[in-house]
Structure 1
Amino acid sequence: MPCPCGSGLRRQRCCSLDLATLSPPDATAPVKPLLEQAEAALADNDAARAEQALLAALELAPGREDALFALHRLLRQQGKLGAAETLLRRMVAINPNNFIPTNELTLMLLARGALAEAEIHARNAVRIAPRSAQAHNLMGLVMTEANRPLIGEYHYREVLRLLERDDAVTLANLAWNLKTQGRIAEARTLYVKSVKLNPGVLQTTLGWARTEEADRKFDRALKLIDGAEALAPNNPGVSLTRATILARKGETEAALAKLDALGQGGTLGPAELSEKGRLLDRLGRYDEAFAAFDAGKKRAIELGARRYLDDAAADLANRLRAFFTERRLTTLPRAAIRTDMPQPIFIVGFPRSGTTLIEQTLSVHPRIAAGDELPTINDSTQLIPRLFASPLVYPDALAELWMGDQREGLDLLRDHYLARVRQAGILRDGATWFTDKMPLNETHLGLIHLMFPQAPIIHLLRHPFDVVLSVYSNHLTHGFFCAAELETAAKHYALTAGLIAHYRENIPALRYRAVRYEDVVDHQEHEIRGLLDFIGEEFDPACLQFEKNQRYARTASYAQVTEKLYDRSRYRYRNYRGHLEPIVPILAPIIERLGYTIE
């Protein structure tokens, strides 16, 4: 029976294979004629004959790396990305020091947003080949996408050092990295240099155009898109970028027409469909907008996007509830407070709940630096078992804190977090605070309290229907890929809400303040004064003009927070009420508990 992964191999020779039973490489020489047949078939563009020869070879020698890699490439060409990734994983498991499959697997994981796993393999690539420019470039890509741009910058500059020359692609990658750090002028200089070296690279021109769009230089961005269109007429990425720029200029009809024209030439991709939905929403064509969002999600799954990992999410939530109880927390130590450097303000909330708005508002204050989406708390959950020398996983590994030689474990964990913040380059002169607004950090409120017992925790609330609808209109990977479907986004929202209620009940000392997005819109000054008072800072009137904050927000909301406060997103769900019927049973109890209503 063929393996369910889609590789074409029998299950016993694929996902059920016991790697311990593999023959040594020198015992697999008899399959060489089959590999030669596959190579000849590929040269003749006969994919079916090549696949048949490769499957036969792997039936006899399932651990043969060259056969696995050739079949992987064939499956990728056929669009069978899940099966192709499975084969790469097997190759890496068989030979962890094989650079090529490690590189390929990292790129595949990066493409589908599995950043945590991509980082594991990117790091291994550098370990395998520390003097390889390709390995450092890979690490730069992953670190930039994982919101650790300063680390990514280091690796890109290491690429240039190893190459001992300027390289157009690396300069463009470094420019994008600097753009994510808000260093727009430096990024622009590198784009100019990259294009001068090689003017025919589409991605370079697109990246430059997106940088100008982020800097609100829309006309300059459109000129660059004209050049990109000359390089690649009717390219989906070019059309999407043009539509995005036109939309930011307020030319919604023109932006929509661009995407419609692209759709007439073929099937729109997930990103294009989601952007089309957002444009239709602006025009008040809500049923069409929801249909576009829905089509975008379905298309993403067709292309290999991950579905919600509901079992993993439920398992983590259950273990967190079981560990973080009031009785146990009374016996656990807390990290000491450090006074020699700025301290964190945790802005938590489900994605699309308004966390970027609050961070952009607070970071105008001269004593509050913007940290953006720091992955460090989640990283700490992976570090704990190793740091505490525990055979258990998080959160149960925190039980080691009862041991005499681990009583200072939380101080070590706190220092690791603060060192990562310093490395990220987000601290500024005069700041006594920095923000950490990683989505769904609220999952780990218990750990945050142990590490930073006096840290202000600001929890953004917004009507749950508005939140889930907004999540559904974007392609996000946070929360165990819950955004793949409307119902799973609602399920994860409910799971997270239940976990927060548990923490609040069991940690009375939690320095927690909830703020409603709708109240910020209606009573901006009152709410911001209240937040600054909660933090312990004086009110600064500049915080009421967050749209003048020149920093680039590395989030899907980067464009919205450059506009003055508006109310068009408040209770947006009313326009989609009929489409939200499937999630009413999931969210209705939470909506009532939070004091909202369903209209």
Structure 2
Amino acid sequence: MSVFSSGPCACGSGLRAVGCCQLDLNTLGPASGSRHLLPVVDEAIACHARGAVAEAERLCLEVLELAPGQGGALAVLYQIRKAQGAASAAEALVRRLVLIDPNNVWATQELALLLFSSGDLGEAEIHARNGVRIAPVDPQSHNLMGMILTEANRPQVGEFHYRRALELLGDRPAILLANLAWNLKNQGRIAEARALYEESVAHAPAVVQTLLGWARMEETDRDFARADALLDQAEALAPAHPSVLLHRAVVRGRTKDYAAALAILDRIEQHSAGEGLGTNELLEKGRLLDKIGRHDEAFAAFAAGKRKHVEQSGALYLADEAAQMTARLKAFFTSGRLRIVPRAKPIGSGPRAMFILGFPRSGTTMVEQMLSAHPQVSAGDELPLVHDVANMLPRMLNSPLAYPEALADLWMGDQHEGLDNLRDYYLQRIRQLGFMKPGATHFTDKMPLNEMHMGLIALIFPDAPLIHVLRHPLDVVLSVYSNHLTHGFYCSNALETIAQHYVLMLDLVEHYRREMTLKYLPVRYEDIVADQEKHLRRMLAFADLPFDARCLSFHENRRYARTASYAQVAEPLYDRSRFRYIPYLKHLAPVIPILEPAILRLGYSIHA
């Protein structure tokens, strides 16, 4: 029995499955074989242009039934399905168009934009990069790269592409100025971003998204009055716009007017036409309810937000991939092998790396905010460079193997200094990013879950301090569950998978510590809260830095932390997040068996 279906394709394109998602592209004939259909395609294009959508759709379906690879018909049907909000169908159609015609810059850009809109930044970047290769002087190719890299926490590289787009255009369109402003805000360059927002709004005062982005920037910069004024302008243009209302609620939460914030979220729900709150609104509602002690309702909001996110994105924990990678890392990084693996040479001069490691929501942002208040320390924030080095390592070592097995090529005579090259690449990227402040001798790298690559970091930077921030595992799991995060193989959408990944990472860290000599310092979040100065002095001494009292007032550090903790680190140190999990114990019951060994191993108890 054939596995192929002759019925309509499940993607919703309107085509039969055998001519759509089950199509074997190898069976397509040459483009010249469908020349007789070109008049019909031209008619479909003309119908679509004059708004006769139903007729255009009928003609496209007829053509694609006979010639599934006809590019013009695919393009028109794609535009129709996209306009109808049929995301799966639109993606399937434009993917086929890209596969059939890899040099079609329009289709490549459209696919990148669709993937970006759905949150798949990894694959979106692949196609956006190809768009730049195909059309290096097309402003839209560079604009897409800027958008994707900015959201992928590589704003410095994204800035290059935005500025290249402006250069190619020769003028300053308002939307591109707003995009660049958001990028600069994510770099903490608030004054420059504000000037661009002012210019963008002067050119186009009625763009809601620009006003919203500007308001969000002012909120992060703690100018709540100005954020409110901008939201007033946005709401005048788009009354009851859910994004405007959501950020109004965020501002009210920042000013601790929790009742007003919750009332605004109720307004969003009332205007949702029965669809309820979205993922972001539900998570924000849960965090607000948590602050006022309504814990059962807060957890229900978190759970609903996570369910909705999974329904809409399909993002589930990549458990097999995570387990396979950690198993391979453990198999390679063993004491016997590491005795004969070379290390990179010490850095002679220039800025020195400090790695702040830890599971998301463990307190790493707070530690970075404290350390970067030191005049000799610049905040690198969530740098993707260790991950980049791991990905490019096989090519740089000219190895046929993948990472980490490619490190075996270091035993070759022509690769014996390969780690020096990897170190120099990392440091060159640091220089290019340009975030070092005058007088700084050190910088922080705080990418969440860099501990997965702790072995590689120690080979490349054997003298670099590794500060591992630990927090009660139940607090970590609850906090990750209450936020929208993508780190950790998409583990954050269920309590059980967060706990599983937490244990996986803790076991890997213990493996590295057992098998390698590391410059490693574990620091507990709770201990910092209990005695900030003692543990700050300990961390600074570990990094060979003198004590500086300014680090104690880290909330006065005006840099923008690009993490979900940006609001918390703008406040003086508080203890209300210690053992936050206790009122939620009954809800966390499913993960206690998973986490209990780790809890006890770290010196915590379940009933703190």
Name the TM tier (shorter chain): over 0.9
Distance 1:74 1:496 in 2: 46
Distance 2:176 2:434 in 1: 21
Distance 1:46 1:475 in 2: 41
Match for 2:429 among 420, 423, 439?
420
Report the more deviating stretch, 300-309 or 175-184.
300-309
Match for 1:534 among 542, 549, 571?
542
Alignment CA distance shift 1:65-1:380 (3 Å): farther
Report the more deviating stretch, 8-17 or 482-491.
8-17
| 1:175–1:191 contact (8 Å) kept in structure 2 | yes
Are 2:438 and 1:429 aligned? yes
Equivalences for 1:507-526 in 2 at 5 Å?
507=516, 509-526=517-534
The answer for the alignment partner of 2:248 in structure 1 is 242
The answer for the alignment partner of 2:352 in structure 1 is 343
The answer for the alignment partner of 2:572 in structure 1 is 564
| 2:41–2:63 contact (8 Å) kept in structure 1 | yes
Are 2:309 and 1:300 aligned? yes
The answer for the alignment partner of 2:196 in structure 1 is 190
Equivalences for 1:359-374 in 2 at 5 Å?
359-374=368-383
The answer for the alignment partner of 1:104 in structure 2 is 110
SS in 1 for 2:523: strand
Report the more deviating stretch, 330-339 or 255-264.
330-339
Alignment CA distance shift 1:526-1:32 (3 Å): same
Alignment CA distance shift 1:531-1:324 (3 Å): same
The answer for the alignment partner of 1:320 in structure 2 is 329
- CA positional deviation for 1:219: 0.6
The answer for the alignment partner of 1:499 in structure 2 is 508
| 2:44–2:73 contact (8 Å) kept in structure 1 | no
Q: Per-residue CA shift, 1:337-363, capped at 9, x if unaligned? A: 222211111111111111000000000
The answer for the alignment partner of 2:100 in structure 1 is 94
SS in 1 for 2:546: coil
Distance 1:49 1:573 in 2: 58
- CA positional deviation for 1:82: 4.2
| Cα-Cα RMSD | 2.2
Are 2:169 and 1:163 aligned? yes
The answer for the alignment partner of 1:146 in structure 2 is 152
- CA positional deviation for 1:3: 5.5
SS in 2 for 1:327: helix
SS in 2 for 1:567: coil
Report the more deviating stretch, 537-546 or 221-230.
537-546
Alignment CA distance shift 1:362-1:192 (3 Å): same
Are 2:558 and 1:550 aligned? yes
| 1:382–1:394 contact (8 Å) kept in structure 2 | yes
The answer for the alignment partner of 1:585 in structure 2 is 593
- CA positional deviation for 1:54: 4.6
SS in 1 for 2:355: strand
Q: Per-residue CA shift, 1:531-581, capped at 9, x if unaligned? A: 111111111111111001011111111111000111111111112111112
Q: Per-residue CA shift, 1:105-163, capped at 9, x if unaligned? A: 22233234333332222222111111111111111112222222222222222222211
| 2:48–2:76 contact (8 Å) kept in structure 1 | no
Q: Per-residue CA shift, 1:435-466, capped at 9, x if unaligned? A: 00001111111111111111111111111111
SS in 2 for 1:592: helix
Report the more deviating stretch, 573-582 or 74-83.
74-83
SS in 2 for 1:366: coil
Equivalences for 1:175-254 in 2 at 5 Å?
175-254=181-260
Report the more deviating stretch, 229-238 or 134-143.
134-143
Name the aligned partner's letter for residue 24 of structure 1: P
Match for 1:352 among 357, 361, 371?
361
The answer for the alignment partner of 1:400 in structure 2 is 409
Distance 1:302 1:77 in 2: 21
Equivalences for 1:40-59 in 2 at 5 Å?
54=60, 57-59=63-65
Are 2:156 and 1:126 aligned? no
Match for 1:280 among 286, 289, 303?
289
Alignment CA distance shift 1:290-1:31 (3 Å): farther
Report the more deviating stretch, 61-70 or 445-454.
61-70
TM-score where L is the length of structure 1: 0.94
TM-score where L is the length of structure 2: 0.93
Where do 5+ consecutive residues of structure 1 fail to align? none
Distance 2:339 2:101 in 1: 47
The answer for the alignment partner of 1:409 in structure 2 is 418
- CA positional deviation for 1:72: 3.7
Alignment CA distance shift 1:293-1:47 (3 Å): farther
Distance 1:15 1:403 in 2: 46
Are 2:447 and 1:441 aligned? no
Number of equivalenced pairs: 598
- Taking only the aligned residue pairs, the percentage that are identical comes to 58
Distance 2:59 2:310 in 1: 30
Alignment CA distance shift 1:410-1:13 (3 Å): farther
Q: Per-residue CA shift, 1:19-71, capped at 9, x if unaligned? A: 34432222233555775686688679887886676555444433333344444
- CA positional deviation for 1:100: 1.6
| 1:13–1:62 contact (8 Å) kept in structure 2 | yes
Report the more deviating stretch, 158-167 or 299-308.
299-308
